[in-house]
Amino acid sequence: MRRILPFAAALAAAFLFQPALAAQAGDEAAAIARAVDDAVARYQLPGIAVGVIRDGQVVAVETRGELAAGGGEPVTPDTLFKIASNTKAMTGAVLARLVDQGKLRWDDPVTKHLPQFRMHDPWVTANMQVRDLLVHNSGLGLGAGDLMLWPEPNDFTRADIIAGLEHLKPVTSFRSGYAYDNLLYVVAGEVAAAAGGAPYEELVRREIFAPLRMDGCRVGSWKLSEAGPVALPHRRVDGRNVAIHEDEELVPDITSMAAGGIRCGVDDMLKWMQAWLDPANPWLSPAQRRAVWTGHMPMPVSERMRAWDNTHFSAYGFGWRLSDVNGHWKVAHTGTLTGMYSSLILLPDLRAGVIILINGPGEHARTALGQVLMERFTAPQAGHDLAHFAGLLEQERAQRKAAEPLPDTSSRRPATVAEARDLLGVWRDPWFGEVAICRRADGIGFASARSPVMRGRLMRVGERWLVEWDDVEVDAEAWLHPPATGATLTLSHVDPEADFSYDYADLAFTRQRDCP
pLDDT tens, 218-264?
Answer: 999 999 999 999 999 999 999 999 999 889 999 999 999 999 999 99
Q: How many domains does the chain have?
A: 2
**d(C-alpha 309, C-alpha 374), whole Å:** 10
- Give the confidence band of 303 by pLDDT, cuts at 50, 70, 90: very high
CB atoms within 10 A of CB 78: 17
**d(C-alpha 256, C-alpha 261), whole Å:** 6
pLDDT at residue number 176:
97
Burial 398-425 (b: 16+ CB within 10 A, else e): eeeeeeeeeeebeebeebeeeebeebbb
Q: Residue range 297-305: average pLDDT?
A: 98
Same domain, 463 and 334: no
Same domain, 254 and 394: yes
Boundary of a domain, candidates 375, 402, 429: 402
Same domain, 393 and 480: no
| 2 pLDDT above the threshold of 50 | no
| 14 pLDDT above the threshold of 50 | no
The beta-strand segments (E) located in 359-454 are 413-414, 425-429, 433-440, 443-448
| 16 pLDDT above the threshold of 90 | no
One DSSP character per residue, 120-159 reads SSHHHHHH-BGGGGGTT-SSPPTTTTGGGT-SSS----HH
User: Domain for residue 10, yes or no?
Assistant: no
- Give the confidence band of 19 by pLDDT, cuts at 50, 70, 90: low
pLDDT digits (tens, 9 = 90+) for 422-451: 999 999 999 999 999 999 999 999 999 999
Rg (CA), the chain: 25
**d(C-alpha 220, C-alpha 242), whole Å:** 26
Q: Residue range 184-207: average pLDDT?
A: 98
The residues near 265 (Cβ < 8 Å, ≥ 6 apart) are 49, 76, 77, 78, 79, 80, 81, 216, 217, 228, 357
Report residue 465: phi and psi, to 5°: -110, 140
Boundary of a domain, candidates 402, 425, 459: 402
**d(C-alpha 46, C-alpha 242), whole Å:** 9
3-class state of residue 490 by DSSP: strand
One DSSP character per residue, 94-110 reads HHHHHHHTTS--TTSBH
Please list the residues that pair with 297 across neighbouring strands.
Answer: 316
pLDDT digits (tens, 9 = 90+) for 491-501: 999 999 999 99
Same domain, 355 and 462: no
User: Domain for residue 19, yes or no?
Assistant: no
**d(C-alpha 279, C-alpha 289), whole Å:** 8
User: Domain for residue 4, yes or no?
Assistant: no
% residues pLDDT > 70 (the chain): 95
Q: Residue range 264-290: average pLDDT?
A: 98
Same domain, 303 and 421: no
**d(C-alpha 227, C-alpha 222), whole Å:** 8
pLDDT at residue number 20:
56
Q: Is 116 exposed, middle or buried (0-12, 13-18, 19+ CB in 10 A)?
A: exposed
Same domain, 37 and 77: yes
| 17 pLDDT above the threshold of 90 | no
Same domain, 354 and 495: no
Look over the chain and give the mean of its residue pLDDT values, rounded to a whole number: 95
User: Domain for residue 358, yes or no?
Assistant: yes
Same domain, 381 and 428: no
Does residue 378 contact residue 345 with C-beta atoms inside 8 Å?
no
User: Domain for residue 155, yes or no?
Assistant: yes
pLDDT at residue number 1:
33
Report residue 446: phi and psi, to 5°: -125, 115
**d(C-alpha 242, C-alpha 293), whole Å:** 38
Q: Residue range 471-483: average pLDDT?
A: 94
| 4 pLDDT above the threshold of 60 | no
Boundary of a domain, candidates 334, 367, 402: 402
User: Domain for residue 92, yes or no?
Assistant: yes
CB atoms within 10 A of CB 302: 12
Please give the helix or strand (H or E) that residue 59 lies within, else none.
Answer: strand 57-65
Same domain, 398 and 418: no
3-class state of residue 507 by DSSP: coil
Does residue 257 contact residue 201 with C-beta atoms inside 8 Å?
yes
Same domain, 93 and 152: yes
pLDDT digits (tens, 9 = 90+) for 114-133: 999 999 999 999 999 999 99
Burial 231-270 (b: 16+ CB within 10 A, else e): bbbbbeeeeebbbebeeeeebeebbbbbbbbbbbbbbbbb
CB atoms within 10 A of CB 340: 24
| 29 pLDDT above the threshold of 70 | yes
Same domain, 389 and 258: yes
User: Domain for residue 112, yes or no?
Assistant: yes
- The domain spanning residue 156 has which CATH number? 3.40.710.10
pLDDT digits (tens, 9 = 90+) for 333-389: 999 999 999 999 999 999 999 999 999 999 999 999 999 999 999 999 999 999 999
Same domain, 482 and 379: no
For residue 84, which amino acid is it?
A
Report residue 233: phi and psi, to 5°: -70, 155
User: Domain for residue 1, yes or no?
Assistant: no
- Give the confidence band of 487 by pLDDT, cuts at 50, 70, 90: confident
pLDDT at residue number 22:
60
Provide the domain limits for residue 143. Answer: 27-402
- Give the confidence band of 414 by pLDDT, cuts at 50, 70, 90: very high
- The domain spanning residue 463 has which CATH number? 2.40.128
Q: Residue range 257-278: average pLDDT?
A: 98
